[in-house]
Amino acid sequence: MQELVKRKCKPCEGGVPAYTEAQARAELKGLKGWALENDRLVKLYPFGNYHQTMAFVNALAWVSHREDHHPDLEVGYNKVRVLYWTHAVGGLSENDFICAAKCDALFEL
């Protein structure tokens, strides 16, 4: 994960293939608690209360802006479900795994 956290997302306008399932599963080994669902990278983060949940969402929004790669978020009182995929390639790319690692690093703060 440390290697992924240090990387920076690259602009993606399509024209490159999405990761194959084998590539995605290989990258997934470097992440803890993430799963592949319908060609998306998904993880549920638990929190103690709404304030912590929203603080995480806002911090993740800032990280996403800096990386110019944005997840879908499903936000509840004490949980956030994060979904990454690269729209431009119609599946997963390196950017998704970079951002997933940064998301985990943020959660550990």
Percent of the chain with pLDDT over 90: 81
- Whether the per-residue pLDDT at 92 is higher than 90: the answer is yes
* Pairing verdict, β 35-37 and 40-46: antiparallel
Residue 7: pLDDT band with limits 50, 70, 90? confident
Q: What is the DSSP string of 19-31?
A: PPHHHHHHHHTTS
Tell me what pLDDT residue 38 has.
Answer: 93
Looking at the DSSP bridge assignments, the partners of residue 73 are: 82
Q: What is the DSSP string of 24-52?
A: HHHHHTTSSS-EEETTEEEEEEE-SSHHH
Task: Give the span between the Cα atoms of 33 and 42, in whole angstroms.
Answer: 9
Task: Look at the block and give the residue holding tokens 């950017």.
Answer: 95
Mean pLDDT score, 2-22:
83
Domain residue extents for the chain: 34-109
Residue 75: pLDDT band with limits 50, 70, 90? very high
Backbone angles phi, psi at 7, to 5 degrees: -75, 160
Tell me what pLDDT residue 1 has.
Answer: 55
Tell me what pLDDT residue 12 has.
Answer: 75
Burial of 86 (C-beta count, 10 Å sphere; 0-12/13-18/19+): buried
Question: Domain spanning 34-109 has what CATH number?
Answer: 3.30.1360.20
Looking at the DSSP bridge assignments, the partners of residue 84 are: 41
- Whether the per-residue pLDDT at 2 is higher than 80: the answer is no
* 16-39 residue pLDDT tens: 899 999 999 999 999 999 999 999
